[in-house]
Structure 1
Amino acid sequence: MTSEAATPRADRRLLRARRATLLSLAVGMWATVLLPAVGLSREPDVGRVALGAVGILAFAATQTAVLYAAVTPWLAQRWRRRAQLGLAVVAVLTVPLVAPVAAGVWPTWAWLGASLVGMAPLVVRLPGALAVTAGALLVSATVAWWTGGSVGRSLAVTGGIGVGVAAVNRFQVWFWDLLVEARQGQAAQGRLAAAEERLRFARDVHDLLGHSLTVIALKAELAARLAPVDPVRAGREAAEVQRLAASALAEVRESVHGYRAVDLGEQLAAVAEVLRSCGVRCMVPPSPVDLPQPAATELAAVLREASTNVLRHSRADWCRIHIDREGNVARMTVANDGAGESGPDEHSHGLRGLADRLAAAGGELRVRRQDAVFTVEATVPVPS
């Protein structure tokens, strides 16, 4: 399954997990909010019942908003702050509205205090949650003492029930956060893979076309110079330019479709022919080492870049190419005597890209310049 197909499905799963988390939080929190309704049924004063109902409903509404914000990562920060501020204001207002309901008979406000303690970990960090818990316990005990109720029962409801609800809520939100982070990690991994693929493709195109276009340019220039004096040879060079262009186009198509395996022996013969046609004495091994893929492809990329640098940046008289294998390591050395001050070094774009490519394959690229001799040495692991 491709990442494009997997992403919508992953998002749907995340939305289902969000709905389940929100429902679970709401059920637990609304249970602690609905329990004060027992106090409403035991309050004989209609005015207190009305005020208490207003306070309980307002608390339930703001609590729902905070729960929604806790499991909605894409919600703007200002809406989170508004929901949290609204909960704080309503929590203060519930003291005069709800505390007198069923005073001394039912710990009405203590249940709201338990709900407030349960919400604290979703709104503030641990020090703030402890402060909210302490404040809720103080208010609960004060209300019970003032109304003649049981201080111990109120503290047990606000503290015991509230802390239990807080632990459950925090675990659920923590698990939800893990799901969100995992999804974000998958998305980031997908973006990184796409970026790496674009970089790989750009590097492959550079490796392929850099060599081919350099040779085509040199052959075309040679054909233009030969046209007035040797039309027959100029025609052969023009035909060679056409063949090289067709070959380069085929290589690009293969690169686009991911078929990038090359024959190192054929590449070596082609490079030697091009160098010799440009007047560079090329020394190559008579029978190149037979290397399996992908080692042969990696060394072929190095060979293309190194020979391109010989043609483009140097005035070499000779170029020596050596390939050998020692155990599970293949080594290729390309040296020429045309190193100049303006020639490539290990920081040039092509060689830097090759170094990254070989490093990703477990190999290494080394470049050194001594007097007029410039040497590129590449090592790659060979599958056993």
Structure 2
Amino acid sequence: MASEAVTPRADRRLHRARQATLLSLATGVWASVLLPAVGLTREPDPGRVALGAAGILAFMIAQTAVLYAAVTPWLDPRWRRRAQLSLAGTAALSVPLVGPVAAGAWPTWAWLGAALIGMAPLLLRLRAAVAMTAGVLLVTVAVAVWTGGSIARHLAVTGGIGVAVAAVNGFQVWFWDLLVEARQGQAAQARLAAAEERLRFARDVHDLLGHSLTVIALKAELAARLAPVDPERAGREAAEVQRLAASALTEVRETVHGYRAVDLHEQLTSVAGVLRSCGVRCTVLPPPADLPPTVAAELAAVLREAGTNVLRHSRADWCRIRIDREDDVARMTVTNDGADDRGPDAHSHGLRGLTDRLAAAGGELRVRREGAVFTLEATVPVPA
């Protein structure tokens, strides 16, 4: 199974898929566990009925824990091992408790054996699952001989029903693992894109400063050597060092500004693509064509943070992005559903930074929540 920690909260479709998988596994396995209850109704001895019921109940509880662990890849491995050991212990204990129930009249324990075989794909790899199946079949034969039941009937129930349930469970777990791995791939792709952008920026800064700092270092060394013998020339070299440093500082600032000033259209395309890849229906109304570059850069920064908030702080099914201009004000509205109490608010660090940035440009950032719908609205004045 997928082992990397992944939580389906970031994707409502993955959350629903997990719930559906867990329900389907529980339905299929518990159906084979409920059939031993028929044996309880056919057992005349009240003592055996009580012991058998206790064994079946313990087995079902251990099964539930294993089913939960099977579709919870972020679970602590120690908890997973405890659940599996509990199932192994209750299965062994069920043989003396459930085996004698309705002896000869109903293959009571054989149905528990079928449930064990059905859960093999949730616990073990193929070879170990085959070995486990063989062991359960041997126990079934031993129980049939011990209770005077039909060996063929016990093997048909344990082997036939168990293998069928195992095939269905194996397919469901395999499909769930594919969904988890796909979600991991999306997260890795996003991290890779961010890392590549940081590397690009680092290369730009390195290329820009490498030459300037080398020249500055050489000029400073020359000025230090000339100071005792030719103060006038040393002063000229020191002035040149100062000029080079100021020039390098200006170039760095221009590079950082260009890095920050993300194109609004590119940002709209990027945010919409990421949201749609995560299962969010994203509607984008194109921005006006006459937005000044400075205004578009401010809105692009807000849009980037808003898209991050939709993914991190909601379970959105849909998102609507609208940018328009009213006279001397440009307004961007980002609305999404799926907001909850953990969603962003006015005290969020990201939103606080955007509020300060827009305030410096004469703009304003407002957020509101109506039920499960969260709305972020940014306004930026358009210079005349």
Q: TM-score, normalised by structure 2?
A: 0.57
Deviations 1:2-57 (A, max 9, x none): xxxxx986455444433332222111111111111121122222211111100000
Query: What's the CA shift string for 1:219-244, capped at 9, x where partnerless?
Result: 6788997996589x959x94x76665
Q: Is the contact between residue 62 and residue 90 of structure 2 (CA under 8 Å) also seen in structure 1? A: yes
Aligned to 2:161: 161
Listed as ranges, the gaps of 5+ residues in structure 1 are 1-6, 261-384
1:171 paired to 2:171: yes
Shift in CA distance, 52/230, structure 1 to aligned 2, threshold 3 Å:
closer
Structure 1 residues 206 and 155, CA gap change in structure 2 (3 angstroms) = same
User: 2:29 aligned with 1:63, yes or no?
Assistant: no
Aligned to 2:92: 92
How many Å apart are 1:252 and its aligned residue? 1.9
Alignment of 1:173-188 (within 5 A): 173-188=173-188
**CA–CA separation in structure 2 for the residues paired with 1:8 and 1:201:** 32
The change in CA–CA distance for 1:229 and 1:167 in structure 2 (over 3 A counts) is same
Q: Which residue of 2 aligns with 1:152?
A: 152
* 1:239-263 residue CA offsets vs partner (Å, 9 max, x unmatched): x766654543343234324469xxx
Distance 1:229 1:119, change over 3 A: closer
Partner of 1:19: 19
The 3 A distance-change label for structure 1 pair 118 and 9 is closer
Aligned-partner residue type, residue 30 of structure 2: W
1:307-328 CA distance string (max 9 Å, x none): xxxxxxxxxxxxxxxxxxxxxx
2:251 paired residue number: 251
Tell me the equivalent position of 2:279.
none
**Backbone CA RMSD of aligned residues:** 3.2
SS in 1 for 2:72: coil
Matching residue's letter, 1:116: L
Q: Which has the higher contact order (CA 8 A, sep 6+)?
A: 2
The CA distance in 1 between the partners of 2:93 and 2:170, in whole Å, is 26
Partner of residue 304, structure 2: none
User: Structure 2 CA distance, aligned partners of 1:215 and 1:111?
Assistant: 83
Question: What does residue 115 of structure 2 align with?
Answer: 115
SS of aligned partner of 2:103:
coil
CA deviation map 1:156-192 (0-9, x unaligned):
2111110011111111212222223333333333333
Match of 2:80 in 1: 80
Question: Structure 2 matches for 1:1-384, cutoff 5 A?
Answer: 10=10, 12-216=12-216, 229=232, 234=236, 238=239, 244-258=244-258
Farther off after superposition, 203-212 or 74-83: 74-83
Distance 1:32 1:251 in 2: 73
Aligned to 2:281: none
- The amino acid across from 2:103 in the alignment is A
| Rounded Cα–Cα distance in structure 2 between residues aligned with 1:130 and 1:229 | 90
> What's the CA shift string for 1:334-380, capped at 9, x where partnerless?
xxxxxxxxxxxxxxxxxxxxxxxxxxxxxxxxxxxxxxxxxxxxxxx
Q: Closer, same or farther in 2 for the Cα pair 1:242/1:103, shift >3 Å?
A: same
Counterparts of 1:14 and 1:172, CA distance in 2: 14
Contact kept, 8 Å, 1:137 with 1:155, in 2: the verdict is yes
Equivalent-residue separation in structure 1 for 2:85 and 2:233 (angstroms): 90
What is the rounded CA distance, in whole Å, between the counterparts of 1:180 and 1:8 in structure 2? 8
2:9 and 2:75 map into 1 onto residues whose CA distance is 22
CA distance in 2, matches of 1:124, 1:107: 26
CA pair 228-31 structure 1, distance change in 2 beyond 3 A: same
Shift of 1:214: 3.8
Query: Separation in 1 of the partners of 2:14 and 2:165?
Result: 24
CA distance in 2 between counterparts of 1:254 and 1:107 reads 81
- 1:69-107: per-residue Cα shift (whole Å, max 9, x none)? 222222233322222222112111111111222222222
Cα deviations across residues 245-292 of structure 1 (Å, max 9, x unaligned)?
Answer: 4543343234324469xxxxxxxxxxxxxxxxxxxxxxxxxxxxxxxx
Q: Is the partner of 1:103 in helix, strand or coil?
A: coil
The gaps in structure 2 that reach 5 residues or longer are 1-6, 261-384
Count of paired positions: 251
Kindly indicate whether the alpha-carbon contact (under 8 Å) linking 2:8 and 2:15 is maintained by their aligned counterparts in 1.
no
Identity %: 80
2:119 alignment partner, SS class? helix
Cross-structure match for 1:347:
none
Q: What amino acid sits opposite 1:197 in the alignment? A: E
CA contact (8 A) 1:10 1:183 kept: no
What one-letter code is carried by the residue in structure 2 that aligns with 1:128? A
CA contact (8 A) 2:8 2:14 kept: no
Tell me the equivalent position of 1:323.
none
- The 8 Å contact of residues 118 and 163 in structure 1, kept in 2 or not, is answered as yes
Name the CA shift for 1:230/1:30 in 2 (closer, same or farther; >3 Å): closer
